[in-house]
Homo-oligomer: A and B are copies of this chain.
Amino acid sequence: MIALLTDFGTDDPYVGIVKSVIYSVEKDVEIVDITHNIEPFNILKGAFYLVSSYKYFPRETVFMCVVDPGVGSSRLPIACKYKDYFFVGPMNGIFDMVFEEKPYCVDISNHPYILKPTSNTFHGRDIFAPASAWIHKLKSIDFLGPKVNYQHSLDIPKPVLKDNTIEGSILFYDRFGNAITNVGCTKIKYAIIEDKKIEYFEYFSQAPKNTPGITCGSFGYFEFFINQGSFKEFSHAKSFKLIL
């Protein structure tokens, strides 16, 4: 299985072209879209969505992850093996949250299956898609290039514990306008955001309609929400406190 996570969007033919390149190598592979609608250049959101998704996939899944503002520049295109999965994309932080331990990576900037002529603006098609397809075929990354050390580069805000308070950050919003935070679920009394007290609820519809709440989201992190509304439209605060 090959899973795709990109900022290509679905308005243009970029995703279809990537898939056609993959299918030209591996006729019978299953391709699953995680999402193609990461905001252009929002590497942190891509990294969070990848770490939230990958464990549900079957072993040996190849994750091709391309949120790549530096395409064509000197940032390295890499392929990595980590636990029982493969990861293909630019070394720009997109894999930082998955690689809690040291992964095994190779530099694929000159791999033997690159499409020629190679575009400076669409490495998804020319470098990453054929690499992903061949990894899927051979269940290995060694043939793609020399070993390289993975460098973490993402600046992920960390929650701070002070006395009976956790200071957390809002990382981004999902399609429902829920605010995804950087604080893993734990027992809390309530939250404070912009001096307003926010109650904890077990699930969305437990909160009164149009009332902001905080709950344990499906990623295992706290989320602010408004029952049948959008928290994103209620507040643009980037930080908050949790009272334990």
List A residues at the B interface (Cβ < 8 Å). Answer: 1, 3, 5, 8-17, 19-21, 23-24, 27, 30, 32-37, 40-41, 49, 52-53, 56-58, 61, 69-73, 119-122, 125, 174-176, 202-206, 215-218, 223, 227-228
Contacts and interface: CB of A to CB of B under 8 A. Distances in A.
Copies in the complex: 3
Contacts of A12: 35, 49, 174-175
A30 B58 CA distance: 16
A173 B191 CA distance: 39
A119 B218 contact: yes
A3 B24 CA distance: 13
A198 to B, nearest CB: 16
A71 B27 CA distance: 34
Contacts of A53: 13, 16-17, 20
Chain A residues touching B, majority SS = loop
Given A41-B228, A205-B72, A35 B16 contact: yes
Among the interface residues A17, A27, A69, which one has the most CB atoms of the partner chain B within 10 A? A17
Given A20-B58, A71-B205, A73-B206, 5 more contacts: A5-B16, A20-B32, A23-B32, A40-B228, A121-B203
Contact of A72 (B1, B21, B121, B206): B206
A16 B34 contact: yes
B70 A205 contact: yes
Contacts of A13: 5, 34-35, 49, 52-53
Among the interface residues A61, A70, A205, which one has the most CB atoms of the partner chain B within 10 A? A205
A49 B41 CA distance: 23
